[in-house]
Structure formats: C-alpha cells, structure tokens
Amino acid sequence: MTWDVLSMIGTIAFAVSGAIVAMEEEYDIFGVYILGIVTAFGGGAIRNLLIGVPVSALWDQGLFFQIALLSITAVFLFPSNLLKHWQKWGNLFDAIGLSAFAIQGGIYAVKMDLPLSAVIVASVLTGIGGGIIRDLLAGRKPIVLRAEIYALWAILTGLFLGLGIAEQPLELYSLFVIVTVLRVLSYTFNWKLPIRKLEAN
C-alpha cells in the first residue's frame, strides 16, 4: 500500500512538473504529453536498467500511466492566468516527486536484497532521473548539476532505507515528509553545496 501511494504521488508530481516545463518552452500538445510521461517514468526506467530489471516492467504500470495522462491533461486545460504562479509551486511539485520516487526506488532495491550501495543508487536514479531527462529535453541545465542541494536528499533517503532505519509505513511516510521539507528549505534559503570556479587566464 505504501509503495502504491508513493508511486502515485511521485507520478502525479513529476507528470505535472514535466508538462509545465514543456508549456513554458512553448511545446505543442504532443510535446507536453511526451515531456510529462518521460519525467514521470524516466527515473524508474534508468533504475531498472542498472539493477537488472527488464525495462518492459514499466508497461505493467497501466494505472500509473493513466494517472500521469490525466494529470498532464488537467495541467494543459488549466487556466493560463493561474499557471503563471507555477514558479511558486513548481519547485514544491519537484520536491514531492523527488522524495516519493527516491523512497520508492530505494524500497524496490531493498526488496531485491541488493547491497546498501545499490539501494542508494536506486534511490538517486529514481528520484532525480526523470527530472534530469526533463531538463535536458527542455534545453535547460539539470537541477541536480547546479550548486543548489538536490541529489543529496535522495542519497540520504537511500541511506536510511538501506540501513533499515525506515521500514514501516509510518517511518516511510515520515521520511517522505522530512525529505520534501528539506528540499523545500534548500531552495527557499538557497542552501548550496561547495563549488569551485576555475579562473580564466
């Protein structure tokens, strides 16, 4: 049940995120649906490739594809004057998707009895993979490559799951809220990882 709830939350959040980015870039309706679907399912596809699960397993998620399509349609039909507030809410949807999918990916790896390193990788790829593909297709610098803290929260999620610190439903939902809040705080207060610039001669 927890797995399904997190998958549903992540799917909706990232499908909406991808659709909005596509509309900001003035893609046509086909492009909006493509970017929304790729954002929602791209991370899971990459994860499956690396941990040995057939990519075709994605096609068993018929319900989630329907949810993604409905979410994208709702965004596309949403009044444009309200979509202007996307910048305010866009990062929140992205934070929710990151948290939900990072936990979902970690759970997936734990169920396969994979080592801690694989659980962390699964969390990171599932949490950030769709967003990276979305930004690349939209011609933007991926959020994860900026100084702003993003992937670190997915790494911590995988660590908690791999070490068995969060296993029960209440613990998983608490982790979801904590990671979402940390991500929101990181962009609200502009927390950054160290960067080093090379001086041009």
Per-residue pLDDT of the chain (201 residues; tens, 9 = 90+): 677 888 888 899 899 989 988 988 999 999 999 999 999 999 888 888 887 777 677 777 788 999 999 999 998 887 776 666 666 677 788 888 899 999 999 998 999 999 999 999 999 999 999 989 999 999 988 878 775 688 899 999 999 999 999 999 999 999 999 999 999 999 888 888 887 777 765
Specify if 197 maps to a domain.
Answer: no
Residue linked to tokens 């057939």: 54
Specify if 113 maps to a domain.
Answer: yes
Burial category of 15 from C-beta neighbours within 10 Å (exposed 0-12, middle 13-18, buried 19 and up): buried
b/e map of 111-150 (b: 16 or more CB within 10 Å)?
eeebeeebbbbbbbbbbbbbbbbbbebbeeebbbeeeebb
How far is 102 from 140, CA to CA, in rounded Å? 22
Q: Find the domain containing 112 and state its range.
A: 2-188
Specify if 74 maps to a domain.
Answer: yes
Report how far apart, in Å, the C-alpha atoms of 31 and of each of 118, 138, 149 are. 33, 10, 29
The C-alpha R_g of the chain, in whole angstroms, comes to 17
Domain count, the chain: 1
Specify if 201 maps to a domain.
Answer: no
Specify if 200 maps to a domain.
Answer: no
Specify if 125 maps to a domain.
Answer: yes
pTM: 0.86
Specify if 193 maps to a domain.
Answer: no
Specify if 199 maps to a domain.
Answer: no
